[in-house]
Structure 1
Amino acid sequence: MKKNVVLLSLVAALGLTACDKPETQATSSAAATPDKVYKVGVDNTYPPFEFTKDGQLVGIDVDLINAIAKDQGFKINIEQMDFSGIIPAMQAGMLDVGMGGMSITDKRKETVDFSEPYFAAGVSLVVANDNKNIASLDDLSGKKVVVKNGTVGASFADKNTEEYGYSIIQVSDSASMFQEVTNGTADALMEDYPVISYAIATGGLKLQTVGERLTGDNYGISVLKDKNDELLKMINDGLANLKENGEYDKIIDAYLD
């Protein structure tokens, strides 16, 4: 009898140990899994969408992606870089999200998936404010047009140079582009309407927009094509919520009142 009691006790002990072990492993595994932090690439020379003020990165895109992340409960880390490097950095696995006033184009759709549009933009033709000779594309024959690398303005300028007879100067940031026209090195520039309007209104630039908008594009938030469907859904859901609860309008109005 004593032998049977000992055997039963041993079996019970082994059974308890076997039941406890998987639970302990699951707990350890969960504790070892860190929270995902999504890396967001932006261009910090693109006011009012991204720019530095008092040493802090601010702007429509910055506030918007932070608000979307808060609404959807995910974490982000914003990386500042030249705009033309954002999509290549996504392709290299260095970024999860691309912004920077990024226009939704068929060319970019070959590489990235876009969110629903969040801002109606369009490219404007810009000249010095004392320029009386250029009022439209038809006046650009023999002139120099400056554009920023990787932008829709640069793409538009490249596609139409032969038709309108101008030459192109390429720079890497908006400030350099504005300076080229201000100092007379270039005759005109092509820039997104909200960006140049904000720059003229707040920066005291001696520039003016002329003619109608050259394009009718929209801005979107991008993720690498066919690689981040779950993140894209969270971005779209968050954007929809912000538009519905009024937070989106507050962000826009804070910069473009």
Structure 2
Amino acid sequence: MMKNLTITSLLSILLLVACDDSPPSNSNNKAASAINTLAVAQNLPVYTIRFSHVSYPPFNMMRSDGTLMGLESDVLNAIAKQSGFRIQAQPYVWKIIFKDLKKSNVHLVGGGLVEEDFDLTELVLSKPYMRSLDCVVAQQPKYLEDWYKRKIVTVESDELDESLIENHQVKQDNIKNVYTQYQALSMILDKKADVVVSDCHVLKYYIYGSLQNQEFFIKELSIDEGDTSYDLVFGVRKDQTELLNKINIGIEQLKQSGEMDKIIKKWTSKQNHR
């Protein structure tokens, strides 16, 4: 967890972060004011996105200089560039992330989230910008054939256990929870579990990144074509109709141009991983 990060450059980035464990402090407000000054000079509107202050790679991560990077950040940057606006990012405690949005002048909420993650009291959902399914990962390909009978490690925040038990007949005693996907992958490297089940894109980020020298085998779990529970979206404040339209149009344009696929591959493919 990174605290008290400061802004080092206004001109070189679109997304800026001043992170703390508590709701935005005075330093955060100064950062927002600086961004607004820049945007006004360029005659561009500024919108604030709130997301969890805990990094969630590859979707949102914070550099040591306080700037935000990641797959979702790249998507927003691309939409902002083509639509003519700027984004300022506000890291927030997840427990209260949906509170006081209008009072805090927050326009949207994101962070690699699906519909069920949102409190829709003040928000309406954008079109999905991508789909992120669950994958099974093992070091031995034969383990993927009967993975549901083996020792499985899952990530606590994914809340997958109930689904695995109900839909795949996994036994509760065969499941162990950890806090991160990296921990989960380390468990199978240490032979403490046979397979990992978690979000495909998060797993691939580590497999093709810091763990690229290890051999893993991946199997994507199938779902019904009409199942929208894996679609990643933004939550936009209900009174921000213009912003919602800009985001929806931007998402469609990125998909049609192929830019969305390029952004996704940049963060989750073996060939393009940073």
TM-score past 0.5 threshold: yes
Contact 1:145 1:166 in 2 (8 A): no
Taking the aligned partners of 1:209 and 1:222, their CA distance within structure 2 comes to 34
Distance 2:143 2:257 in 1: 47
Tell me what 2:165 maps to.
Answer: 161
Who is 2:264 aligned against? 252
State the match for 2:126 in structure 1: 115
Please say if 1:59 is aligned against 2:70: yes
Counterpart code for 2:181: S
Instruction: Identify if the C-alpha distance between structure 1 residues 159 and 254 changes in structure 2 by more than 3 Å, giving closer, same or farther.
Output: closer
- Secondary structure of the 2:154 match is strand
**Separation in 1, partners of 2:165, 2:209:** 31
Give distance in 2, aligned partners of 1:214 and 1:246: 24
Contact 2:48 2:90 in 1 (8 A): no
Counterpart code for 1:240: E
Note the C-alpha offset of 1:132. 5.0
Q: CA deviation at 1:239?
A: 1.8
Q: Which has the higher contact order (CA 8 A, sep 6+)?
A: 1
Give, in whole Å, the separation in 1 of the partners of 2:216 and 2:100.
Answer: 39
Deviation at 1:213, TM superposition (A): 1.4
CA shift in 2, pair 1:164/1:173, >3 Å: closer
1:90 correspondence with 2:102: no
Indicate conservation of the 8 Å contact 1:101/1:219, yes or no.
Answer: yes
Once the two structures are superposed, residues 68-127 of structure 1 have per-residue CA deviations (whole angstroms, 9 ceiling, x without a partner) of 123233332223467xx28x40244365433333234xx346635322222232101223
Partner residue in 2 for 1:145? 153
Following superposition, the deviation at residue 41 of structure 1 comes to 1.4
**Alignment correspondent of 2:244:** 232
> Equivalent of 2:216, from 184, 205, 208?
208
Q: Say whether residues 1:39 and 2:46 are aligned partners.
A: no
In structure 1, stretches of 5+ residues that fail to align are 1-30
Aligned Cα root-mean-square deviation (Å): 3.5
**TM-aligned CA distance change 1:37 to 1:228, over 3 Å:** closer
Structure 1 residue 236 displacement after superposition:
0.6
**Kindly tell me: are residues 240 and 113 of structure 1, through their superposed partners in 2, closer, same or farther at Cα, counting changes over 3 Å?**
same
Q: Which residue of 2 aligns with 1:221?
A: 234
What is the SS of the residue equivalent to 1:251?
Answer: helix
Q: Deviations over 1:157-192 (max 9, x none)?
A: 223336321345444433333334433454433222
Q: TM-score, normalised by structure 1?
A: 0.63
Q: Deviations over 1:42-85 (max 9, x none)?
A: 553312x3335675532221111122123233332223467xx2
Q: Is the 8 Å Cα contact of residues 133 and 220 (structure 2) preserved in structure 1? A: no
What is the number of equivalent residue pairs in this alignment?
210
5+ unaligned residues in a row in structure 2: which ranges? 1-39, 225-229
Question: Larger deviation: 165-174 or 112-121?
Answer: 165-174
Query: Match of 1:183, as an amino acid?
Result: D
The Cα shift of 1:147 comes to: 1.2
Give 1:13's aligned residue: none
1:146/1:170 contact within 8 Å kept:
yes
C-alpha spacing 1:92/1:209, structure 2 compared with 1 (3 Å)? farther
Greater share of helix residues, 1 or 2? 1
Decide which of 65, 71, 86 is 2:82's aligned counterpart: 71
Output the TM-score relative to the length of structure 2. Answer: 0.60
Greater Cα radius of gyration, structure 1 or 2: 1
Shift in CA distance, 220/165, structure 1 to aligned 2, threshold 3 Å: same
Aligned to 1:194: 201
